[in-house]
Every structure is written in C-alpha cells, then in structure tokens.
Amino acid sequence: MTPFFVMSLLFGLTFGQTASLCAPSEYIIHVEKRECAYCLAINTTICAGFCMTRDSNGKKLLLKSALSQNVCTYKEMLYQTALIPGCPHHTIPYYSYPVAVSCKCGKCNTDYSDCVHEKVRTNYCTKPQKLCNM
C-alpha cells in the first residue's frame, strides 16, 4: 500500500465521526387545538442528519447498552412560545416548541426526542392555516 492511501485511510477513520452531517435543519410544525379556529404553521429548527454508527455481529454477547446506536440529537436547544389565533377566551392559546441551537451525534434521550424508527404522518393541518415566523 502506498503511504498516501494509508494516510487517507487513517484520516478517514480518525475524523469520520467529526464529519458527520448532523446539524440544525429548518422544519415546519403544524399546531392546532380542537377549540381554536386556525392551524398554526411554525417555522423552527430541528436536529437532522447522519451520524456514524457501528453494528456488531455478536449482539448476543454484548450488553444492551453497547448495542444502542448514535442519532442526531439536540446538543443545545431553547423553547419559544407561539399564540394560536382564533381561540375562545376559556382556552389557553399558547404553544411552546423546541428550537435546535446546536446538534450532536449521541444516544437518543426520550425525555426530549422521538426515538422511533417508523414515521407517523401527523404533521398536517385540518383547519385553515396561519403562518408563524419566529
């Protein structure tokens, strides 16, 4: 093997994880309440992208904690609150949602992330839309 090939291989193995494409990405959340007249389309950011993972062939020999895969998840986030228009006075017209400030590849934390594999189509409106730019 040539020295260039060996150095390229070592560089790729060493810095492959840092080159993972996990970053904040623009996303639209659709929010509606039964009592309110409108659906609110909120522009926010979520963590999305690719993280390096490894899959072991000897799964029965390893502890369960060693089998978890890295996912693109929040490193830093903040919450913002939006007002849903067209709500009657007896309802709370506010909705708080997360905004990704920075992301990382790490274990999925169900306290603030959805860790399922199947995508469920729930991000749509059944009422007239109002756009909320935050």
* Domain residue ranges in the chain: 20-133
Compute CA distances 29 → 49, 66, 79, whole Å. 18, 34, 14
- Residue appearing with tokens 């090939």: 5
Report the C-alpha gap between 88 and 116 in whole angstroms.
35
Question: What is the CATH number assigned to the segment(s) 20-133?
Answer: 2.10.90.10
Three-state secondary structure call for residue 33: coil
Instruction: Give the pLDDT of residue 121.
Output: 62
Low-confidence ranges of the chain (pLDDT < 70): 1, 3-20, 54-68, 112-124, 130-134
Tens digit of each residue's pLDDT (9 = 90 or more) over 46-69: 999 988 876 666 666 666 666 667
In contact, 76 and 101? CB cutoff 8 Å = yes
